[in-house]
Structure 1
Amino acid sequence: MIFNMTENGFVTECAYGELTVSGDDQYGFRPYQLLVSSIAVCSGGVLRKVLERMRISFQDIKVQAEVERNEKEANRIEKIHLHFVILGEDLNETKIEKALVVTRKNCAMVQSVKDSIEITESFEIKETK
């Protein structure tokens, strides 16, 4: 990837389109937003694949990310809590717990930051009819 400087940040061309990154969210995505998004979406995508491989039927997954930052240490991200809301019918809590363990081990983004950012997960099941 090549990032070119602009007046208010940097821009790069990706296969999907242009990505603008800036420390000011008026001009692009902030770096911490991209980091948190990468971890949340990677985890959600891996969870989706794991549930499908386990033949667990579900309708939707939502991922809520809560971030704790340390202002005294360059506003670094110290903790990310991911809360998965899984919508489906007759979902088994024990199987979802097992799927999350597999997800954590196979999410490249979580594995990349696990020694520097505390990542925690929780989930809830919402029944659909």
Structure 2
Amino acid sequence: MANNHITTTWKGDMKFESDNPSGHNLFIDAGEESGGKGDGYRPKALMLSALAGCSGLDVASLIKKMRLDVDDFEIKIDAQLTEEHPKYYDKVTMDFHFKGDNLDETKLTKAVDLSVEKYCGVMAMFQKFAEVKINIFFNK
């Protein structure tokens, strides 16, 4: 069983520094409206970046394995927080945008489906507490 260990250190006010097994650190801070200075990532938004990054890595790997011709792709996420505390994402929409002249829509859809249904652990966690909707767009 794989374990990850991180240490998150308070840097004063509302700012924290968090290490990562990759060796890269990041800063977390609240916005000015919440007593911070906005000098870092917001924790809930960072969760969305983790979701996009996890699925994006899966899809990029599958694009390579399937030898697909894709010029570029991006993932856009729109997420809704609950009204009551503790506020969490209950609805998440992920839009996968693929760009290229020779897109194989069937295989790219399969790559996204494999990430969503089988490979992305962050997706599996999100699906425990949120309704996740997936859209795929092909821009030739």
TM-score by length of 2: 0.81
Match of 1:4 in 2: 9
Q: Does 1:13 align with 2:25?
A: no
- Structure with higher RCO (Cα < 8 A, 6+ apart): 1
Unaligned runs of 5+ in 2: 1-5, 32-36
Distance 2:136 2:79 in 1: 16
| 1:126 maps to amino acid | N
Query: Percent of counterpart pairs with the same letter?
Result: 21
Q: Does 1:121 align with 2:134?
A: yes
If each structure's strand is expressed as a fraction of its own residues, which one has the higher value? 1
Instruction: Tell me the CA shift for residue 65 of structure 1.
Output: 0.6
Alignment deviations for residues 43-89 of structure 1 (CA, whole Å, 9 cap, x no partner):
11111111221121111111111111112242211122110111112
Distance 1:9 1:79 in 2: 28
Distance 2:86 2:108 in 1: 36
Distance 1:95 1:43 in 2: 16
Aligned-partner SS, 2:103: coil
Match of 1:110 in 2: 123
Match of 1:22 in 2: 29
RMSD: 1.6
| 1:10 maps to amino acid | F
- The answer (yes or no) to whether the contact 2:70–2:102 under 8 Å persists in 1 is no
| 1:106 maps to amino acid | Y
